[in-house]
A = this chain, B = another copy of it.
Amino acid sequence: MTGRVGAMARIDISISEVGPRDGLQNTKIFMATDAKKAWIRALAAAGLPEIEVCSFVNPKMIAQFSDAAEVAADALTIPNLSVVALVPNLKGAQRAAEIGVPRLSLPISASEAHSRANVRKTVDEQLAELGAIVALRNTLPPERRFKINAGVSTAFGCTLQGDVPEADVLRIAAAAVTLDADSVSIADTVGYANPGQVRRLLAAVKREIGPKLDAAHFHNTRGLGLANCVAAIEAGVSALDSSLAGLGGCPYAPGASGNVITEDLVFMLESMGLRTGVDFDKLMQAREILVASLPGAEFYGHLAKSGLPKGFAGAVAA
């Protein structure tokens, strides 16, 4: 998602770091609250314009997010950072709104089977939840009103349902806009997308909802994450989600790697001459905090092994 506040340098592609939410969501080890805070601060210090800092899910469902309010409250004190939280439902939105999170993201599965498994609602029931969250937002005083993103998940296929028709994705995206969502992001939740499909689907969504199309979110389950990011950019998307060290892994694909790897994405974009605003060395420092805080977890990333190419100076020099 875009929505960064007060970014100082020009950014061509806005990376939203989702590791503290999507990454930790799939990690068995509980990351200490202080470590989460330090990690998020390091990510922000590296220049990432936006961070999805937690999920306001029921802690009985995912214990990792039992400290969501404390983590989010701390992140809100970081200057020039767009703080996002995932909310699975109205109750989560209420909790996030209470502490003033300015941007909420509600997942809406394009697959009925995934919707029932993920949020125990049909797709239309989850769209109704979006309507309820918008209504909640509209009751708040103007200075406390949050932005709401509809994250269309399993948009490129589903491990439970298999194929997901493009028409279903377009219907949900259009419905979300009609319900007054501020933005719509499109997610390959299970790592099924390929670059051709990404170009086609995102171009179709763009035709359907125009500038309300915000970020694309890919998993690297089958190694196509970066190729899909390039395809998304070609389709006119300028905001991408990714996760430091590719933290995450998909619970439906054991052993498979997780989200698009932030370090690798930053390197690719900067080497293509697309400015991300991210300082690579500081990003690797944030990685060190992460690795030290989650002993035993699986981390990914090519740049962490290979380093930058000789004489690499980023987008400014590209």
Q: Does residue A56 face the partner (Cβ distance < 8 Å to B)?
A: no
**What is the predominant secondary structure among interface residues of chain A facing chain B?**
loop
Determine the chain B residues whose CB is within 8 A of the CB of A268 once the complex forms: 194-195, 222-224, 227
Residues 153-208 (chain A) with a chain B CB within 8 angstroms:
157-159, 162-163, 190-192, 194-197
B305 touches A272 (CB 8 A): no
Contacting pair A305 B197 (CB below 8 A) = no
Given A195-B268, A197-B272, A271-B194, CB of A221 within 8 Å of CB of B256? no
Q: Which residues of B contact A302 (CB under 8 A)?
A: 220-223, 256-257
Q: How many residues of A contact B (CB 8 A)?
A: 44
Chain B residues within an 8 Å CB radius of A310: 157-159, 162
Q: Which residue in chain B gives the minimum CB-CB distance to A226?
A: B227
Report A259-288 residues with CB < 8 Å from chain B CB: 261, 264, 267-268, 271-273
Is A6 located at the chain interface by the 8 A CB criterion?
A: no
**A196 near B306: Cβ-Cβ < 8 Å:** no
A197 and B222 alpha carbons, distance in the complex (Å): 24
- Chain B residues with CB under 8 Å of A13's CB are none
The chain B residue with its CB closest to the CB of A310 is: B162
The distance in angstroms between the C-alpha atoms of A310 and B250, with both chains bound, is 14
Across-interface contacts of A256 in B (CB, < 8 A) = 302, 305-306
Residues of chain B within 8 A of A261, CB atoms compared:
223
Contact A196–B272 (Cβ < 8 Å): yes
C-beta contact mask, A249-260 vs B, less than 8 Å → 1, else 0? 010011111000
> A residues touching B (Cβ–Cβ < 8 Å)?
157-159, 162-163, 190-192, 194-197, 220-224, 226-227, 229-231, 250, 253-257, 261, 264, 267-268, 271-273, 301-303, 305-307, 309-311
- 4 additional A-B pairs beyond A191-B306, A253-B306, beta carbons within 8 Å, are A162-B309, A195-B268, A253-B307, A256-B302
